Amino acid sequence: MAQIFSRSANVRARVIIFGFVAFVCGAGWTTYAVFWSPYTTYVDVPLEQPVPFSHKHHVGDDGIDCRYCHTSVAESPRAGLPPTHTCMSCHSQIWTGAPMLAPVRASLANNKALKWNRVAVLPDYVFFRHDIHIAKGVGCVECHGRIDRMALTYRAVPLTMQFCLDCHRDPGPRLRPKDQITNMAWAPAGDRKALGQALVAQYGIRVGQITYCSVCHR
């Protein structure tokens, strides 16, 4: 009987099969790595701003509370950005001639708001309110990280659906007393799990319902 395949056919077949498997695995790994990389999530990537504002200096060093600039964070869906006169309430008296603050002075003189680039941005199809999270004891640090240590502001966590669901499924460990909402360094004195369970009950959080699709997508 004539031999249809050469002796090297088996070797070539194995090379092709293993090569295809390696290609698929490599493509999958590359896709996963790119999806979770700063290129896609923007985690740890400072955005260019009209003024190099330092939360480390203003919050960490000077102790300015988040709500001094983000005045609407506890009463509305958005945290709000400070108008120029908020900045100038201090900088009309200190660092009055600093070159880096020239855009702030120009903004006040021209009555034209500074155009800040938002760091924590959610898609338009996501329904999110700052006020309800603060009312339920979620601290700023849970989503924004140790912003009091950021010389330039960057996204601390990937604001993915998985990130939100992890918290909604088990909110207890992320909760704190309301008077500690803006305290970046706060840590519970006792059992964290027990405190979380107590706060879930105190704030009336319906754990079984906050994972419904309609909570975030309306």
Structural contact between residues 202 and 208, judged by C-beta atoms closer than 8 angstroms = no
Residue type, 75: E
Please tell me the distance from the alpha carbon of residue 76 to that of residue 200, in angstroms, as a whole number.
Answer: 22
Please tell me the distance from the alpha carbon of residue 79 to that of residue 75, in angstroms, as a whole number.
Answer: 9
Please tell me the distance from the alpha carbon of residue 35 to that of residue 43, in angstroms, as a whole number.
Answer: 12
- Rounded to an integer, the average pLDDT of 29-41 is 71
Q: So what's the pLDDT on residue 19?
A: 86
Is this model's pTM higher than 0.75 or not? yes
Q: Which of 34-48, 68-82, 143-157, 199-213 has the least mean pLDDT?
A: 34-48
Q: So what's the pLDDT on residue 2?
A: 56
DSSP label of 58: I
Q: So what's the pLDDT on residue 150?
A: 96
Q: Report CA 98 to chain centroid distance, whole Å.
A: 30
Average per-residue pLDDT in the chain? 91
Tens digits of per-residue pLDDT, 53-110?
999 999 999 999 999 999 999 999 999 899 999 999 999 999 999 999 999 999 999 9
3-state secondary structure of 74: coil
Q: So what's the pLDDT on residue 31?
A: 75
Judged on CB neighbours under 10 Å (0-12, 13-18, 19+), 125 is: exposed
Handedness of CA 158, 161, 165, 167 (dihedral sign): positive
Entry field: residues in the chain: 218
Residue ranges covered by each domain of the chain: 9-41, 55-81+116-216
In the predicted model, is pLDDT for residue 172 greater than 60?
Answer: yes
Q: So what's the pLDDT on residue 35?
A: 65
Q: Which of 34-43, 94-103, 186-195, 204-213 has the least mean pLDDT?
A: 34-43
- Rounded to an integer, the average pLDDT of 37-55 is 87
Q: So what's the pLDDT on residue 190?
A: 87
Residue type, 169: R
What lies within 8 Å, CB to CB, of 129 at 6+ separation is 76, 77
Structural contact between residues 69 and 83, judged by C-beta atoms closer than 8 angstroms = no
Greater model confidence, 22 or 99: 99
Q: So what's the pLDDT on residue 3?
A: 62
Tens digits of per-residue pLDDT, 109-126?
999 999 999 999 899 999
Query: How crowded is the C-beta side of 23, counted as CA atoms within 13 Å?
Result: 6
Q: So what's the pLDDT on residue 90?
A: 93
Please tell me the distance from the alpha carbon of residue 40 to that of residue 35, in angstroms, as a whole number.
Answer: 6
Q: So what's the pLDDT on residue 111?
A: 94
Q: So what's the pLDDT on residue 34?
A: 66
Sequence-separated contacts (24+) of 194-199 with Cβ below 8 Å: 196/171, 196/172, 197/172, 199/137, 199/172, 199/175
